[in-house]
Amino acid sequence: MSATHTILNLPDQSTAALPKKNYINAEDGILSWLLTGDHKRIAILYLISITFFFFIGGAFAGLIRLELLTPQPDLVASDTYNKLFSMHGIVMIFLFLVPSVPATLGNFLVPIMLGAKDLAFPKINLLSWYLYWIGGLFTLAALVLGGVDTGWTFTTPLSTHYLNTHVVTAATGVFIIGFSSIFTGLNFIVTVHRMRAPGMTWFRMPLFIWSNYAASILMVLGTPVLAITLVLVALERTIGIGVFDPNKGGDPLLFQHLFWFYSHPAVYIMILPGMGVISEVISTFSRKRVFGYTAVAFSSVAIALFGFFVWAHHMFIMGVSNYSALVFSLLTMLVAVPSAIKIFNWAFTLQKGSITFETPMLYAFGFMGLFTIGGMTGVFLGALGMDIHLTETYFIVAHFHFVMVGGMLMAFLAGIHFWWPKMTGRMYSESLSKLAAITTFIGFNLTFLPQFILGYLGMPRRYHSYPAEFQVLNVLSTAGATVLGVGYMLPLLYLAWSLKYGAIAGNNPWQATGLEWQIQSPPLTENFIETPIVDHEAYDYEWLAHKTEHEVTTVG
């Protein structure tokens, strides 16, 4: 792990400088950012926005953990606690996790990785960012006006009949953010189909593209169903139509079907792009082509496909028939197969690779371990008998945080650390970033491992008081959350620092093979000086070595 065991290759700092022309200094002034059509600038706008909402959502999480430090309710009142976890869920899922990798790294990288100048619809791309903010402002308005306490699921009839909080405002926010996500997905699909550079065949595309493509399919097909569901909830709440109201012949269970028809695939919208990041990182830092490229590519599509047929596993205790529960349980087990294909293929990529332990790789290792635990506990929960025992307990909370935070957030940070030199042209502090990766990993496990035990012992979720014998585990969890918070603050600080003081990164600090690494960092507005012609597969390190050699002889 010493300096000799690194592939990090920075140019000579005494002579190196940022490229004179790049997308950051191409135009000046705040309006040149707010009205930009450049996918890279929109990615930066998104990155700033989702970071803002991440720390808001994180603040709610902090308050929740602080309240749970003691068995009795003392920090906040019961209904405030309900609002805290509802807002935590809404902000983190719709404003952070769903757009996290696609809207930042995806926006930045999808066109470059395909050899295109931009996404197919730059204006729609910008529109999606504005919709994100309009939706975000509605959500913030719901918060400032007094909050919403339905949980992030807007469950009927709680949301339509029993609560006197700002359900419609929050639902409007989520509805609008949904369209921002639809437009991102639509843009990606059209770009992948129509904008690939000459020679960039489907099976030469980096796996990051495949997984974002699969996630885009889910966004495009799933999100509209959430939209119409929220419209019906809002209509029911405001003018009293009866689609979900038993008094009028409606069925609340229909809401659950429609909601989870989106919200289960939404889990894959969140995790698939993260898996794409991991494929890139693992390959680069083990200097090997991703093992079983085709299998990994198709497993993304398979996850997207299966993801649409498992939604009722959220409803096993809600009165669905035994037969449908059986079928959905079986289908849920099936979706574990493509996920496992990915994990095993990454493991085989590592095998006999020349592994180095740069920061993105540390985060990627964190992802692999934590996602495996999160995925395996998902199989427990997909099993009918276990689910009856564990559902609505902290076991569920621990499970989806292992997938979403341990998996997705780790992948997001891996990606940010991996492509930061490309996005900004500068390198962050290696030792601090490694410290942050390790702190995050330790903090995460300390926070959420105790919650598996708590859930197994029967502590229900969404309550702010609990029997005194659960306190030790809860204190551990809160302590872990504090460490985790530090782990998340660190990157914010050293990444901001690197913007001005970081070492000049050069075109290809990691010696990676992707098209994005063959251009200057930060890239030009039009990405490529001339349209690249692709004559090699993704992750072809021999091609890279040959190319580098060739360059050296030309210059020398």
Partner 1 sequence: MDNTIVATQSHEAEEHAHVALPQHRHHFETEQQQREAGTFGMWLFLLTEIMFFGGLFFAYLLYRNWYPAAFVGASNQLSIPLGAFNTAVLIGSGFFMAMGVWAAEVKKKGLLVLFLAVTTLLGLVFLGVKYVEYHEKWEKHHIPGEHFDVSEFINPQAYGLKEEPMSPDMAQKTQVFFSLYFAMTGMHALHMIIGICLLFWLTWRAHRGDFSSGYVAPIENFGLYWHFVDIVWIFLFPLLYLINRHPV
Binding site for partner 1 (CB under 8 A): 111, 116-122, 124, 182, 186-187, 189-191, 193-195, 220-225, 227-229, 231-232, 235, 239-243, 247-251, 254, 257-258, 261, 526, 531
Nearest approach, Cβ of residue 40 and partner 1 (Å): 12
Residue 185 CB, shortest distance to partner 1, in Å, is: 8
How buried is residue 351: exposed, middle or buried, by Cβ count under 10 Å (0-12/13-18/19+)? Answer: exposed
CB of 67 or CB of 118, closer to partner 1: 118
Give 221 or 386: the residue with its C-beta nearer to partner 1: 221
**Helix (H), strand (E) at residue 435:** helix 430-457
Compute the least distance from the CB of residue 73 to partner 1, in Å. Answer: 37
**Measured distance CA(418)–CA(31) in Å, rounded:** 29
Nearer Cβ to partner 1, position 222 or 366?
222
- Cβ at position 335, least distance to partner 1 in Å: 20
Q: Which CB sits closer to partner 1, 212 or 229?
A: 229
Q: What 3-state DSSP class applies to 420?
A: helix
Q: Measured from the CB atom, is 116 or 350 closer to partner 1?
A: 116
Instruction: Using the minimum distance from each CB to partner 1, give the nearer residue, 168 or 413.
Output: 168
> Among candidates 222, 238, 112, 122, which has minimal Cα distance to 172?
238
Sequence length of the chain is: 556
The token pair that represents 361 in the structure block: 């790789």
Find the shortest distance in angstroms from Cβ 424 to partner 1: 23
* Shortest CB 243 distance to partner 1, Å: 5
CB within 8 A of 312, min separation 6: which ones?
257, 260, 320, 324, 325, 328
- Closest separation between CB of residue 245 and partner 1, Å? 8
Pick the closer one to partner 1 by CB: 223 or 451.
Answer: 223
> How far apart are CB 220 and partner 1 at their closest, in Å?
6
For residue 517, the minimal CB distance to partner 1 (Å) is 21
Closer residue to partner 1, CB minimum distance, 100 or 223: 223
Q: Which residues contact 127 (CB under 8 A, 6 or more apart)?
A: 180, 183
460 by DSSP, 3-state: which?
A: strand
Phi, psi torsion values for 238, nearest 5 degrees: -90, -55
CA 167 – CA 165 distance, rounded (Å): 6
Is the CB of residue 311 less than 8 Å from the CB of residue 264? Answer: yes
The DSSP-derived string for 22-85 is -TTTSS-SHHHHHT---HHHHHHHHHHHHHHHHHHHHHHHHHHHHHTTSSS--SS-HHHHHHHH
Q: CB–CB of 148/85 below 8 Å? A: no
Query: For residues 66 and 254, which CB has a smaller minimum distance to partner 1 in the complex?
Result: 254
* Rounded Cα gap, residues 447 and 5, in angstroms: 32
